[in-house]
Chain A
Amino acid sequence: MNMSDLLLAAEHTPLAAAMRGEVGGEWLFPIVETLHVISLAMVFGSIVMVDLRLVGNTSRDSAVSKLSREVLPYTWGAFVCAVVTGSLLFVSKAHVYFYNLQFQLKFLCMLLAGVNMAVFHFGTYRQVLEWDEKLPPPRAARLAGALSIALWIGVICFGRWIGFTT
């Protein structure tokens, strides 16, 4: 079974049919899509809060480690919701989305954002206690924060463009 068969099999599930509005109401897709928007709003909003602190721009009265502990649980909770709702949207037209350029670029941006986060977390962040309240934060932290904001804006733009190209 190759990729194409797998995608077609996903499209032929009852769940995918329901998402396309063939079973039940035609409102399932927009409702799931709105829940996806709410999830991504929490993901992006909370990531930007931490990133702007890493850049040294806002929440300057909170230590980086404290702010991360406060905000990042929201990010991960919302990320799980975004994955679940996103998967539902995906199966409705798996074949179309998978080969859509904007969809692929969106996932490339997310992959790069993940790599950026991992490099920062296992690098500069290990010594966070040394620079927790220092302003401006070290160069590597500022770079990681700025890069993260740019990549997540890319995720949003390509995500929105999927709707105009499929």
Chain B
Amino acid sequence: MLHVAHHWANSIAGTALSGWFQNESWVVPTSQSIHIASVSVVFCCAVMISLRLLGLSASGRSVSQLVNTLVPWMYRALGVLLLTGIVQTIAEPVRQFVTPVFWWKMFLIICVLTLTIWFARAVRSNAVEWDAAARPAGAKWFALTSLGLWIGIVFCGRFIGYTWELYQ
């Protein structure tokens, strides 16, 4: 499978856009910096919501208040992450596609996105119940799973840069 990915990577690397990104040495670091700033927004929002659900935060805000304030920011930041991620992939397709860590990251992102969208909908459709309980039922496993997934995603993201040369 990684063989096919290597083939795709080479076709992307051959495009004019990819060549331009590679020649302009500021493109990748700039894109990565914006990517990290956006990761911070998503990650911090996810941690705040999870800690609130675990009953560990000093937040005076209700679950639905937190979700309504923070989840839209997560979606916005995820949009920026997708865009900058695409720029980095076009600039260095081989670096991304050859390492399984990149594909694990994509898989974890799909998991956490599905989980977050489902959770945000559940809270919105039943705000009264979520807000009434100090530690809403079923919230604990969501909080822990989502925390674990996000930490895994950051690890995978950083490790793409350290593993790709092993698969060259």
Which residues of A does B touch, CB under 8 Å?
A: 27, 30, 33-34, 37-38, 40-46, 48-49, 58-59, 61-62, 66, 69-71, 73-74, 153, 156-157, 160-161, 164
Contact = CB atoms under 8 A, between A and B. Distances in A.
Interface in B58-73: 58-61, 65, 69, 73
Given A42-B43, A45-B43, A73 B29 contact: no
A42 B154 contact: no
Contacts of B69: 58-59, 61
A43 B159 CA distance: 21
Interface of B: 25, 28-30, 32-33, 36-37, 39-41, 43-45, 47-48, 57-61, 65, 69, 73, 151, 154-155, 157-159, 162
Given A38-B43, A161-B29, A30 B73 contact: no
B158 A33 contact: yes
Contact of B65 (A34, A48, A61): A61
B40 A41 contact: yes
A132 B57 CA distance: 21
A37 B154 contact: yes
Nearest to B51: A74
Contacts of A27: 162
A44 B162 contact: no
Contacts of A73: 58
Contacts of A164: 25, 28-29
Nearest to A149: B37
Given A48-B44, A66-B60, 16 more contacts: A27-B162, A30-B158, A34-B155, A34-B159, A37-B36, A40-B36, A41-B39, A41-B43, A42-B40, A43-B40, A44-B40, A45-B43, A46-B48, A74-B47, A156-B33, A157-B33
